[in-house]
Structure 1
Amino acid sequence: MNKRILVVEDDVAIGNLIRMTLTTQHYEFDIAQDGSSALQKAISLKPHVIILDLGLPDMDGIDFINKIRGWTQTPIIVVSARGEEFDKINALDAGADDYVTKPFSVEELLARIRVALRRTSSEHQLEAESALFVNGHLEIHYLANTVFVNCVEVHLTPIEYKLLVVLSKHVGKVLTHNFLLKEIWQNALQSDVPSLRVFMATLRKKIEENPSQPKYIQTHVRVGYRMLRVHDDE
């Protein structure tokens, strides 16, 4: 089945560029130029990925994300001229999965789309095999609270394990510092980010073959972290 993509973009030139890009890759797609029509199309089209510009004529893109997240977890890739860290963090905290700053290359956009589609596929697999997560040579046995790398059990502290589980349940999605802090410590503050970095560093030392060049957990500087989908031959 072809993958369906909803593009929410009011700039005609950018919309045409994305249209041509998706056409060459044989994706099914529809384009909406405002938030209201995009919400309607999201319901009828049931897209696998949404590409969203934040500067919509009838509503802010953050409001659109909040409305969408009320009923679906469809991956959202923000494509916006707003390049400040504050804007990225706000969008990701609201529920966006990824963020691309204009101007962008079509190759980068296609790569982000592939990541989002792989995340969707992995989530369906997790639903079918909810007790086991496999990513390359990394295995998490949720029911037993155990972790294996290359078939060897790795002993994690409770916080390290919680971090790994949260990342694994959002493969391919950038998780902000705020999101991770709330998931792990509930009442944590932004000032606790250094502690988060320490735990992430110790986790990497235990699961990464080369912690200085991690292949499982990617850092997004001053924003957060993302678990990458890894293939066995990588």
Structure 2
Amino acid sequence: MYKIMVIEDDDKISSLIKNKLEKYGYIVTIVEDYSDIKGEFIKEDPHLVLLDINLPYYDGFFWCREIRSISKVPIIFISARFSDMDQVMAIENGGDDYITKPFSFDILLAKVKGAIRRAYGEYAKGNSMDVYEVEGVFLYKSQNIVEYKEKRVELSKKEFALLYILASNLESIVERDTLLGELWDDMDFVDDNTLSVNIGRLRRRLEDIGIFEAIKTKREQGYSMTNTWS
């Protein structure tokens, strides 16, 4: 069952698209928070996006680039803007196709089916999203990169693994032995100070992107990550 995200601020059009596509077995979600489309995309993790250009806050070109920074899912622009330049910009910003309003639903359905077939068919490469988001902080798992408010920093493999474990257990204490066991195969060869050194490095890297005092030391227990950035 494929999930489609509709990013269209005209309620009539978005509802019509939703109702039509659901009759063909698709799961359709409509964006509600136009100030954080990237966040909604991560939460819903759709297989395909239908994207308008004229949107509140930022236009569709901006959000297409934001989605492309974390995912390769098909993006089809749907817009009343019909100039060649708009279509060129849509493709250059990461879009896969372009439909001009008003449009035939048969055309929309055919393009959706085609895009999904190309992306998820037998010979298609995987398009799984490779990002973990925690309250506005984005962790790019295949790149060891953490991002906050459009500032990025690349971490070492160990630093990223530490951050991922702590972030996925936000506000909870993670014991030292648990962290050591996750990061080092043979704990007998790990100096007692090794974990503390890596935590210190991670704290400094987070400070580089504006996150301060988020990792707390819990004496004789371990460490926890607290949301100090929002």
TM-score (ref. length: structure 2): 0.52
Per-residue CA deviations over 1:114-169 (Å, capped at 9, x if unaligned) read 011011124x73548xxxxxxxxxxxxxxxxxxxxxxxxxxxxxxxxxxxxxxxxx
Q: Give the Cα–Cα distance (whole angstroms) in 2 for the partners of residues 20 and 80 of structure 1.
A: 19
Q: Any residues of structure 2 matched to 1:93-104 within 5 Å, and which?
A: 93-104=92-103
Using the TM superposition, give the Cα deviation of residue 27 of structure 1 relative to its aligned residue in structure 2, in angstroms. 0.6
Q: Which 4+ residue blocks in structure 1 deviate beyond 4 angstroms?
A: none
In our comparison, the structure showing a higher alpha carbon Rg is 2
- Native 8 Å contact 1:6 1:31 kept in 2: yes
Q: Give the Cα–Cα distance (whole angstroms) in 2 for the partners of residues 85 and 92 of structure 1.
A: 11
The code of the aligned residue for 2:51 comes to L
Find the residue that maps to 2:123 and give its secondary structure: helix
Q: Give the Cα–Cα distance (whole angstroms) in 1 for the partners of residues 33 and 98 of structure 2.
A: 19
Aligned to 1:84: 83
Aligned to 1:57: 56
The code of the aligned residue for 2:37 comes to A
- Native 8 Å contact 2:35 2:56 kept in 1: no
Structure 1 residues 11 and 69: alpha-carbon distance in aligned structure 2, compared to 1, 3 A threshold: same
Using the TM superposition, give the Cα deviation of residue 38 of structure 1 relative to its aligned residue in structure 2, in angstroms. 2.7
Using the TM superposition, give the Cα deviation of residue 34 of structure 1 relative to its aligned residue in structure 2, in angstroms. 5.0
- Native 8 Å contact 2:118 2:124 kept in 1: no
TM-score (ref. length: structure 1): 0.51
The code of the aligned residue for 2:102 comes to P
- Native 8 Å contact 1:8 1:34 kept in 2: no
Aligned to 1:26: 25
- Native 8 Å contact 2:77 2:95 kept in 1: yes
Is residue 2:110 matched to residue 1:111? yes
CA RMSD of aligned residues (A): 1.6
Find the residue that maps to 1:78 and give its secondary structure: strand
What percent of counterpart residues are identical?
37
Using the TM superposition, give the Cα deviation of residue 35 of structure 1 relative to its aligned residue in structure 2, in angstroms. 3.6
| Structure 1: gaps of 5 or more residues | 129-234
- Native 8 Å contact 2:5 2:29 kept in 1: yes
Q: Any residues of structure 2 matched to 1:139-150 within 5 Å, and which?
A: none
Q: Give the Cα–Cα distance (whole angstroms) in 1 for the partners of residues 11 and 124 of structure 2.
A: 38
Q: Give the Cα–Cα distance (whole angstroms) in 2 for the partners of residues 22 and 36 of structure 1.
A: 25
Q: Any residues of structure 2 matched to 1:39-54 within 5 Å, and which?
A: 39-54=38-53
Structure 1 residues 81 and 111: alpha-carbon distance in aligned structure 2, compared to 1, 3 A threshold: same
Higher RCO (CA < 8 A, seq sep 6+): 1
Aligned to 2:194: none
The count of corresponding residues between Structure 1 and Structure 2 is: 126
The code of the aligned residue for 1:20 comes to N
